[in-house]
Chains A and B, each alone.
Chain A
Amino acid sequence: MKTKNKKSKVNLFLDSGAYSAWSQNAEINIHEYIAFIKKNIKYIDVYANLDVISSDKISVEKAAAGTLKNQRIMEKAGLTPLPCYHFGEPLKYLKLYLKEHDYIALGGMVPISNKDLKPWLDDLFLKHLCDKKGMPKVKVHGFGMTSLSLMLRYPWWSVDSTSWVVTGRMGGILIPRKTNGKYDYNKNPLKIAVSAKSPATKKLEAHYNTFSPVQQKIFREYFEGKGFKLGESSFRKVKRKESYVLQEDEKWNKKKESIVETIIEPGLCNDYKLRDELNIIYFLDLEKKMKKWPWPFKLKKKMKGFFE
């Protein structure tokens, strides 16, 4: 047996996890982070700086200074982390990073509404990140950039998203909408609950089962076209849950209520791994449909009214 030389390149982007730690009131030790990167450096393509996130206790200015301090600590340790500039921080930090790097990250955007993010990003891309022709001067990563409209609006080099896993774990799948009979990745996808255990099973047009047969056919065409089946499960209550031994095709649905799920046919409705895979495929397809970087960012001029 011979193997083809077309090995997939591992594309690893290491996030410091600062945002998750901050949201869980935890702290990350920068020296542990540095040691971790050094130990695994050959596997990692890009690693982010350990950023300091502003809060009630830390002002935006202090957070920006702390982030820069961490950048310098990591650099002194011989590393070249991706610098991160956050929403609302003084521009001097962005200007400094732009002088020193050709790939930077924008962060702190997750809790900010699109309405507030748009003018901030418009200004950054127009005045600092792109040249006079609108072409990006550096590669820009958008941390937690999950809004499709903002993803498409700016010439990002990269973004990250957890939607694939979040949607799947909530029992859902992402399905692209159609325009003139073709899948349109410029529109927000439909999120359809398919899990047999989903609380949305009885909500009209929230769960696969509550859509019309015509709509169900459209959804089926999509996921069957990608090689997935909906699957089928049945549920029953058992007596004496403590002594009940699950069969190979069974799993607890609600152990407290002694309800056992029997997998009649494996598929999206009863296997979160399959939902994950289908949702990954959605993002891989979305990535393929996007404009090839670099492309110019230009603000569309507003049409003036007759009497203006």
Chain B
Amino acid sequence: MQIHLKGNTGFNSAKREKEILSLFDNRFHEFAKNKYLGDQDVLECLRIKAEQENDHEMVEKLQIRIDILVKGLVDEN
């Protein structure tokens, strides 16, 4: 059974904030490595989109998240 951890991940919250990003971001903080979050490709797509829209604050936030994710995936070899 899958337990979906809800909390500001619904449509209402997404509307209030930065759309889809809030679905990934809300309340999970640096927990990007767990399965509910953190596909690097998705985050990078969002970062590119934010760059195009000159949303520097969002670019910075996403970069932090990508860095955390990559750090978790780095192969020591």
Contacts and interface: CB of A to CB of B under 8 A. Distances in A.
Interface of A: 1-4, 6-17, 20-21, 26, 28, 32-33, 36, 39-40, 43-44, 151, 155-162, 164-166, 273, 276-277, 280, 283-284, 286-287, 290-291, 293
Interface string B12-51: 1111000110011001111101111111111000000000
Contacts of A159: 1-4
Contacts of B34: 8, 280, 284
27 contacts: A2-B77, A3-B73, A8-B33, A8-B38, A9-B35, A9-B39, A12-B24, A15-B6, A15-B9, A16-B10, A17-B10, A17-B11, A36-B14, A39-B19, A40-B19, A40-B23, A155-B1, A156-B1, A160-B3, A161-B4, A162-B6, A165-B7, A273-B30, A276-B28, A277-B29, A280-B28, A287-B3
Nearest to A164: B5
A164 B7 contact: yes
A67 B73 CA distance: 43
A7 B13 CA distance: 27
A139 to B, nearest CB: 10
B22 to A, nearest CB: 11
Nearest to A292: B1
A interface SS class: mixed
B53 interface: no
A289 to B, nearest CB: 10
B75 interface: yes
B1 A287 contact: yes
Interface of B: 1-15, 19-20, 23-24, 27-31, 33-42, 70, 73-75, 77
A8 B37 contact: yes
Contact of A3 (B1, B23, B74): B74
B4 A160 contact: yes
Contacts of A293: 1
Contacts of A155: 1
A281 to B, nearest CB: 9
Given A159-B1, A161-B4, 8 more contacts: A4-B74, A10-B24, A158-B3, A160-B4, A162-B6, A166-B7, A277-B31, A287-B3
Nearest to A284: B34
A20 B40 contact: no
Contacts of B29: 273, 276-277
B61 to A, nearest CB: 15
B13 to A, nearest CB: 7
A290 B1 contact: yes
A28 B8 CA distance: 15
Contact of A280 (B11, B12, B15, B31): B31
B10 A2 contact: no
A11 B73 contact: no
A158 B4 contact: yes
Contacts of B12: 17, 20-21, 26, 28
Contact of A43 (B2, B11, B23, B77): B23
Nearest to B11: A17
B15 A36 contact: yes
